[in-house]
Amino acid sequence: MAAWGKGRGTRTRAWLGLVGIVAACLVSLAGRAEALTPIPVGADQERIEITTLGEAYEGRGDSLQVETAAGSDGVSGRMTVRASVPGTSPNWMVFALTNKTDKSLERLLTADRYTIVGSGTVWPDLDARRIESVTPSVGFVPERIKSDKADVFRITLEPGQTITYVAELAGDRYARMYLWQPIDYEIKSRDRQLFNGAMLGLTGLLAIFLTSIFAANHKLIFPAAALVAWTVLNYLCVDFGFFHKLFNLRPEDNAVYRAAGEAAMASSFVIFLSTFLRLGLWHGIVRMMIGVWIVAQLTLIAVAVIDPRLAATFARLSFLAIGSVGGLFIVFLAFKGQDRALSLVPTWLLFLVWVFATGMTLTGRMSGDVVVASLVAGLVLVVILMGFTVTQFAFRSADAVYSGAPNELQSRSLALAASGSTIWEWNIRRDEIKVGSEVEMALSLMPGELSSKVEDFLKHVHPTDKERFRVTLMSAQERSGIRIKSDFRLRHSDNSWRWFELEAASVPNADGRTLRCVGLMRDVSDSKRAHERLLHDAVHCRLTGLPNRELFIDRLKNVVVRAKSDNTVKPAVIFIDLDKFKSVNASFGLVRGDSLLLTVARRLQRHLGPQDTVARVGGDQFAMLFTGEREARNLPALAERVRRSLRAPIPLANQEVILTGSMGVAVWEGTQAADSDLLKDAELAMYRAKQSGSDRIEVFDPSMRRDREADEQIEADLARAIEKNHLKVLYQPIVYLPTKELAGFEAQLRWEHPNLGLINPLAQLGETADTELLIKLCSYLLVKAAKDVARWALELPRSERPIFVSVNVSGRQFFRPESVQEVRHVLGRNIAPQGTMRLEISESLLMDNPEQAVEVLKVLSGSGVELTLDDFGTGFSSLAYLHRFPFDTIKINGGLVRGCGTGSGAAIMRSMVALAHELSMTITAEGVERADEAVFLRSIGCEYAQGYHFGEPIPERAVSQLLKMVRRSERKLQPRGFFRPKPKSISKDPKKPA
């Protein structure tokens, strides 16, 4: 038993040892490769594909044991190769080479870092290092040759030698490896560079051509096509490795550049398709989808920097979407007869073929160098054909029109296109309307959408205009020979409305019935908006947007009418005049002054109810209308709140400005004679408050009307004097100081009052005078002066210095739109030489409403009149704004002229003259009464002067006699003979002597 037990233990240990040996063998086999069949390398073989003849291994860990190929003696060995970086578990490619010749052979082992063949569509294989290292079984390690396009190793085989090579791969995918003869590889590289250069040259020239031609033909299809050419050129530069040589970039970053290039190229095709087919004019949803698509394509360019393979995946898939969707658009529009789509058909067919071939190559179903070169050439051909299509389409219509002398039809077509109109046609028998494509383009509608049945056309018409337009069509259908003239609104694709004007005529047939109407449509939206703006500005303040005096009075009249029939309506008016605002405006300038007015307007609006109104009735005057009975009872408290809100400090120019206002309050009592008298009552109360001091509130008292009644009596007498032509116009001479000759006259209006004698009617009218009466006086003076100066030009003809007349129109009413229009009408009715009419506007009037004054003066200056700034230096003048007004002359007040030759007065006068000359203006001094004043003014360069020293105001008959005397004296002074000196002229430039 003991012997048996001892033998049994020995056998157990033997079995365990055998199992251990077997396990060790299995473990060793897991990392070892079988012996290879060597690949024979001949002297005349150009290229051998190693990938299909070698053996690939993956998942073998960080080391690989290889049994080498047997040599000529039939003995094989074993080699172990370890990964360059531990822990990476790379893939391996093992192959053996044998030299059967009697010569030493040198070969190049290559693996392209990128090839489109089999690179894939989803998560594609982009540029990357393919071979990390190559380890031989015997001999020296192969030398790596520097290259941007491929991994290249130099291998040397001695005669009869067999060597096994283990290539450690750098990526997860197996790259195609080739064994080249060095001379053949060099020839192939040169041929490829020649081909690449030709493709780059063609694409670059086309990109420059399409970009440059945009300067001659400003159509968006040229930059859109040029964008495609530039992106294709960019992609080819990346694919050919041109950027690495030009900018010294790292080959490792080429995957980013390639993915970004593919995304940019796809984006450019979408942009070109949208631009050329004008997809932006389609329905809003289609336009939005195209916009989102373009943004998504452009986003891929940025994604390429973060994840190149993800960006390349979507970019490559998008080419299939671009080809398919674009093809559907082109086919649809081509069947609709759109010329653009028809001309793009050949280009898009070639593009679809290229997309299909590229997809087959990416998936590995097509391979070879010829296929890769054909794809590059095909892409360039698509771009060239696209450029030809764009150029031919863009210049086709222009060549047909301008190729020769235009005939009558072509001339009419050009005139129609230049007028901005388009054809409109109504076929009554078919009940169809056809319009030109220009209308659909203006409305961003699909081509042909408006050319439809009448009912379908009316769906695009504004609901307010629809029935009126329908009645117009029915009238044209029932009556022959009728002309259609209508304006209506059509819906834009963004749901806005545009105005169109239609003028058409019926076309009767042989029996006189109307079967067709033909005419022109044109977009008048801009003129309609301008007209509406003019209507708004006529009754609103342009600065604040508040109603003006006219609109305020109109609303006041409506409220008074309601008050007469409804006792609960109790109108009340608060009239506000800002204290010393002119000085504030002059100190801070026009812009900041306008800001203050806007602030005041907003503060006043806070006190309004739903039916109340606040208006700007003057430059620095506001009026508030309250309609409720509650407001009337609490009016004193309300006025006090308004006063306090005005006094609140206003931050301006790093300081605080405190404005105050004199306020007049009036409540409707039913005793006012006219509906608008309530405003006059409040204005009277305001003037009473201003007389008491600033920042006061005064409630209207009937006793204030007595002064107003006296003024109204004068106004009534003056109105009758205008009707009976009892007014006189006197003319005071104006002398040109350098030559002391008569230059012109100032027209002065006078009225022979029964009690007051000869007076100035404008001076007798108060601040509350009737505006229409003031306009009549101004118009009377302008008409009289214009007629007289036109006649003077005949009585005293001067070719270079005609007699002029200066008219003072300094009144608040002058800046009303109807006053400006009246001036233009007067000048248009009375033909007078250029520069013979001068208008004088006082400085204080400008400061009342400077922003409106600038606009009015520009209109008047463009009407041919010369403008004079009257009473300069007496108001709150500011040099900061003087240059903004288009004045020709500055008129100095007589108070500054008296005693100007001595002391500080002389310095002031010299500075004023110098200022005017620097601003290219002339100077007129009024109130000259002594000879020494005239001498001093002439010495400092003052051009014109008037006053009792030169003559008092005289009637029109005396003016004619004076002109006859001047003409006789000028004739006597004129030299006789053949050689006559050129007469002196009054220089317009004050810096140049006459």
Is it the case that residue 503 has pLDDT exceeding 50?
yes
Those residues whose C-beta lies under 8 Å from the C-beta of residue 461, and which sit 6 or more positions away, are 469, 488, 489, 490, 491
Q: State both tokens at 412.
A: 């009419």
Is it the case that residue 404 has pLDDT exceeding 50?
no
Q: pLDDT-derived band of residue 989, with 50, 70 and 90 as boundaries?
A: very low
Residues 886-908: tens digit of each pLDDT: 889 999 888 788 767 676 778 88
Q: Structurally, what CATH architecture does the domain formed by 716-973 represent?
A: Alpha-Beta Barrel (3.20)
Q: State both tokens at 55.
A: 């053996």
pLDDT value at residue 153: 95
Q: Whose structure tokens read 């600033």? A: 694
Q: In sequence order, what are the beta bridge partners of 79? A: 66
pLDDT value at residue 828: 66
Distance (Å, whole) CA 813 – CA 845: 10
Average pLDDT score over residue span 804-817: 73
Measured CA angle at 89 (ends 85, 95), to 5 deg: 95
Q: Taking a C-beta distance cutoff of 8 angstroms, is the pair 203, 236 a contact?
A: yes
What is the overall mean pLDDT for the chain?
Answer: 81
Write out the H or E segment, with its range, that includes residue 837: strand 837-842
- DSSP assignment of 759-800 equals E-HHHHS-TT--HHHHHHHHHHHHHHHHHHHHHHHHHS--SS
Is it the case that residue 817 has pLDDT exceeding 70?
no
pLDDT value at residue 405: 43
pLDDT value at residue 775: 74
Is it the case that residue 831 has pLDDT exceeding 70?
no
Pairing of strands 727-736, 741-753: antiparallel
Distance (Å, whole) CA 295 – CA 297: 5
Q: How many residues in the chain?
A: 994
Those residues whose C-beta lies under 8 Å from the C-beta of residue 833, and which sit 6 or more positions away, are 793, 802
pLDDT value at residue 876: 47
Is it the case that residue 385 has pLDDT exceeding 90?
yes
Residues 924-937: tens digit of each pLDDT: 999 898 888 899 99
Q: pLDDT-derived band of residue 768, with 50, 70 and 90 as boundaries?
A: low
- DSSP assignment of 386-444 equals HHHHHHHHHHHHHHHHHSS---HHHHHHHHHHHHTEEEEEEETTTTEEEE-HHHHHHTT
Q: What is the pTM of this model?
A: 0.44
pLDDT value at residue 229: 93
Distance (Å, whole) CA 589 – CA 583: 10
Distance (Å, whole) CA 175 – CA 167: 11
Residues 597-613: tens digit of each pLDDT: 899 999 999 988 888 89
Average pLDDT score over residue span 470-495: 82
In terms of Cβ atoms closer than 10 Å to its own Cβ (0-12, 13-18, 19+), residue 909 is buried
Distance (Å, whole) CA 286 – CA 278: 11
Closest CA to 958 of 743, 727, 733: 733
Sign of CA dihedral 911, 915, 920, 921: negative
Decide which of 988 and 790 is more confident.
Answer: 790
Pairing of strands 697-699, 661-667: parallel
Distance (Å, whole) CA 404 – CA 526: 36
Q: State both tokens at 176.
A: 């195609």
Please state the domain extents for the chain: 1-30, 32-180, 193-399, 423-523, 545-702, 716-973
Choice among 403-412, 442-451, 702-711 with the minimum mean pLDDT = 403-412
Distance (Å, whole) CA 768 – CA 418: 52
Q: Whose structure tokens read 């898009």? A: 348
Residue type, 404: G
Q: pLDDT-derived band of residue 794, with 50, 70 and 90 as boundaries?
A: confident
pLDDT value at residue 770: 60
Is it the case that residue 431 has pLDDT exceeding 90?
no
Residues 132-191: tens digit of each pLDDT: 899 998 888 999 998 888 899 999 998 888 899 999 998 888 888 999 999 999 999 899
**Phi, psi for residue 869 in degrees, rounded to 5:** -85, 110
Q: pLDDT-derived band of residue 3, with 50, 70 and 90 as boundaries?
A: very low
Q: pLDDT-derived band of residue 769, with 50, 70 and 90 as boundaries?
A: low
Distance (Å, whole) CA 104 – CA 794: 118
pLDDT value at residue 901: 65
Is it the case that residue 485 has pLDDT exceeding 80?
yes
Is it the case that residue 360 has pLDDT exceeding 90?
yes
CATH homologous superfamily of 423-523: PAS domain (3.30.450.20)
Tally of CA atoms within 13 A in the half-sphere of 692 that contains its CB: 15
**Phi, psi for residue 118 in degrees, rounded to 5:** 70, 10
Decide which of 287 and 804 is more confident.
Answer: 804
pLDDT value at residue 214: 81
Residues 718-757: tens digit of each pLDDT: 878 878 777 889 999 999 999 889 999 999 988 887 777 7
In terms of Cβ atoms closer than 10 Å to its own Cβ (0-12, 13-18, 19+), residue 724 is exposed
Percentage of the chain modeled with pLDDT above 90: 22
Neighbours of 404 (CB within 10 A): 8
Percentage of the chain modeled with pLDDT above 70: 84
Question: Considering only the top CATH level, what class is 193-399?
Answer: mainly alpha
* Long-range contacts formed by 393-398: CB under 8 A, 24+ apart: 393/221, 393/339, 393/340, 393/343, 394/217, 394/219, 394/221, 394/222, 395/217, 398/217
Residues 237-272: tens digit of each pLDDT: 988 887 777 767 676 678 888 899 999 999 999 999
**Phi, psi for residue 605 in degrees, rounded to 5:** -65, -25
Is it the case that residue 7 has pLDDT exceeding 80?
no
Q: Structurally, what CATH architecture does the domain formed by 545-702 represent?
A: 2-Layer Sandwich (3.30)
pLDDT value at residue 690: 85
Give CA separation, 907 vs 542, 910, 916, 945, in Å: 40, 5, 14, 18
Q: How far is CA 774 from the centre of its chain?
A: 44
Residues 66-84: tens digit of each pLDDT: 888 887 777 778 888 998 8
Q: To 10 degrees, the CA torsion angle through 491, 494, 497, 501?
A: -60
Q: pLDDT-derived band of residue 29, with 50, 70 and 90 as boundaries?
A: very low
pLDDT value at residue 631: 58
Is it the case that residue 400 has pLDDT exceeding 60?
no
pLDDT value at residue 417: 60
Q: State both tokens at 111.
A: 């693996």
pLDDT value at residue 22: 46
Choice among 634-638, 665-669, 711-715 with the minimum mean pLDDT = 711-715
Distance (Å, whole) CA 63 – CA 30: 10
Residues 520-546: tens digit of each pLDDT: 888 888 888 877 777 777 778 888 889
pLDDT value at residue 984: 46
Residue type, 794: L
